[in-house]
Amino acid sequence: MKIGFIGLGNMGAPMAANLIKAGHEVTGFDVAGVTVEGAANAGSAAEAASGQDAVITMLPNGEILRSVYAEIVAAGSKGSVFIDCSTVDVDSARAAHELAAANGLLSVDAPVSGGVGGAAAGTLTFMAGGSDEAFSRAAPLFEIMGQKAVHCGAAGAGQSAKICNNMLLGISMIGACEAFALAEKLGLSAQSLFDVVSTSSGSCWSVNTYCPVPGVGPQSPADNGYKPGFAAELMLKDLKLSQQAAESVSAQTPMGARATELYDGFVAGEGKGRDFSAMIEKLK
């Protein structure tokens, strides 16, 4: 396929590289001038989107997504599929779908889980929203860039799933950090608590796979000085999106709201530039 890829940052560049390795013809554009080996370089987002079978965007926020889509949809080939892999607010995702549809384009909102490591390894999970036809067209590309793609529903459903998942992740990581911090003060070893929790009712991904304590469980950022696998700033961004979404539909998310407050304070202080699991140091 001929693919335009707009947004070649820490996530977008390795995703584009995997498409190139799979034999696709990629034209890339990034406002920072970033290039990817093997990709043609476009002079603008519209140029990258012109004449392509698929156009993929990986952008920082909803405002930028709306701006970029306003520029690129007119350049898109009728019937091509536009895939947005950014993590943005649901309203912006739906606005992008509307712009695409008005120009005769198929569209999918498909935020990802798996971080920079997953992008490089091609093991991302895609949470997709859009029509059956659009998802079907995008699916072969998801298979190259990731290990799983879930069609969550209509336009905006992918963003909704991502926001709900990451709100739960933020809450559960705080809970894990609280438990290990308390255990230490009670004189209980982190290894003992891990051995219990990982096989008991407190079992969760934040403990079993991504334990916030060094030297316990599988390798995690805690074993690397909390160098970000998933930065605290990105967790805060997703938590704020969850609260924006909750407010828009009058949903009660008291734990999500408190997690947002805690990560806001953490990022404003010692947490900036660190993994979100470094929250344990603040709680200690």
Asked if 217 contacts 206 with a C-beta cutoff of 8 angstroms, the reply is no
Buried/exposed 104-125: b ≥16 CB within 10 Å, e otherwise = ebbbbbbbbbbbbebbbebebb
Encoded tokens for 234: 């990105």
Which entry of 21, 162, 237, 284 is annotated as an active-site residue? 162
Buried/exposed 155-170: b ≥16 CB within 10 Å, e otherwise = bbbbbbbbbbbbbbbb
Query: Chain-centre distance of CA 224, in angstroms?
Result: 22
Q: Is 148 a catalytic residue?
A: no
For residue 247, count CB atoms less than 10 angstroms from its CB and return exposed for 0-12, middle for 13-18, buried for 19 or more: exposed
What are residue 9's phi and psi, to 5 degrees? Answer: -85, -155
Query: Chain-centre distance of CA 57, in angstroms?
Result: 12
Encoded tokens for 116: 């920079």
Residues recognised as catalytic? 162
